[in-house]
Amino acid sequence: MLKYVIRRTLQMIPLLFAISVVIFSIIQAAPGGPEGTLLDRGMFVDPAAIDAYRARLGVDQPVYIQYFKWVGAMLTGDMGISFQTQRPVLMMILERMPDTLRLMGLSFIVAAIIAIPLGVFSAVKQYSTFDFLATGASFIAIAMPVFWFGLMMQYFFSVKLQWLPVAGTMTVGVGGFMDKLKHILMPATVLSLHSIAGWSRYMRSSMLGVLNQDYIRTAHSKGLEKRTVISVHAVKNASIPVVSVMTLDIARLFSGAVITETIFGWPGIGRMFIQAMHARDYPLLMGIMMMGSTMVVVFNLIADVIYGWLDPRISYE
């Protein structure tokens, strides 16, 4: 097992290099450059000033030179300086991390608490009214655009009922637990709904597969209570694939949620990513995307390890 983990960890290095080449090329291949923000000032800038600006940022050089400079700095732990804010990229990412993880983590936990029982009940009561309702609701939730749902929530809970605030993590000058809860409620609901819908479908189908297995019938025929059969024998085995899916989703927690964060004025990574993209802030984009990629690669490994640990039939030797 340890050998396997070490081997996989070593394999990550060339993989991440390859990812960085691809991301860097795609970012650079997008037309235009960071000087586009100069125009957003609503003023017109002397072309000579634009050239000077590009030279100052180093984007006037060939792409491969820019890449090697970036990699070289990255290897020494320097993620570069953001074009827009003139601040270190690492600092900007770390600054946004607590609020990102708070929102994403909360919606993750809430989604897990709801999705798993929902999937189990749907499977146990297959084709019941409950199952149909849950299935229908899941499809609606998956199909519903996040921005629309977010704005509708705002309209009802902030504009009509005036219960919840529209934006931010807290009321400046108030704070406190209830205030923060009110602020996180809507974005967390929007985000968790999507996960609930997805995960409960996985749980349901996995559970249905398990319920038809011989050992479940054996357990029933031994005279075990139905409750015990389901909660001890079935759920445990059915949750193995769901747990690995959820583990992979943990990687996403670090990248934030672009649309939800924008609508609810949430200071997360997702919104910073969008801003960086509009401004062609190459160092910040690279920083965020490499962090996201690293997380995906790492959590893939973790998911594999957990899978092997949960399911003894799988061996990595």
Binders of another protein in range 24-83 (CB under 8 A): 30-47, 49-50, 52-53, 56, 81
How far apart, in whole angstroms, are the C-alpha atoms of residue 114 and residue 73? 44
The residue within the footprint of another protein, chosen from 70, 266, 273, 299 (CB under 8 A), is: 266
Measured at the CA of 172, the angle between CA 170 and CA 177, to 5 degrees, comes to 40
- Residue 16 or 164: the one with the smaller Cβ distance to another protein is 164
Rounded to the nearest whole angstrom, what is the least distance from the CB of residue 199 to another protein in the complex? 16
The residue within the footprint of another protein, chosen from 6, 278, 309, 314 (CB under 8 A), is: 278
The residue within the footprint of another protein, chosen from 18, 109, 140, 314 (CB under 8 A), is: 109
Q: How many CB atoms lie within 10 A of CB 296?
A: 16
Amino acid occupying residue 235: V
**Among the residue ranges 128-136, 190-198, 242-250, 267-275, the one whose residues contact another protein (CB under 8 A):** 267-275
How far apart, in whole angstroms, are the C-alpha atoms of residue 107 and residue 256? 11
Rounded to the nearest whole angstrom, what is the least distance from the CB of residue 186 to another protein in the complex? 11
The residue within the footprint of another protein, chosen from 187, 268, 287, 292 (CB under 8 A), is: 268
Amino acid occupying residue 287: G
Task: Report 196-255 residues binding another protein (CB under 8 A).
Answer: none
- Residue 87 or 125: the one with the smaller Cβ distance to another protein is 87
DSSP SS3 for 256: coil
- From the number of C-beta atoms within 10 Å of its C-beta (0-12, 13-18, 19+), residue 235 rates as buried
By CB under 8 A, tell whether 99 contacts another protein. yes
Task: Report 130-189 residues binding another protein (CB under 8 A).
Answer: 150-151, 154-155, 158-159, 162, 165-170, 172-177, 180-181, 184
Q: How many CB atoms lie within 10 A of CB 180?
A: 16
How far apart, in whole angstroms, are the C-alpha atoms of residue 55 and residue 43? 21
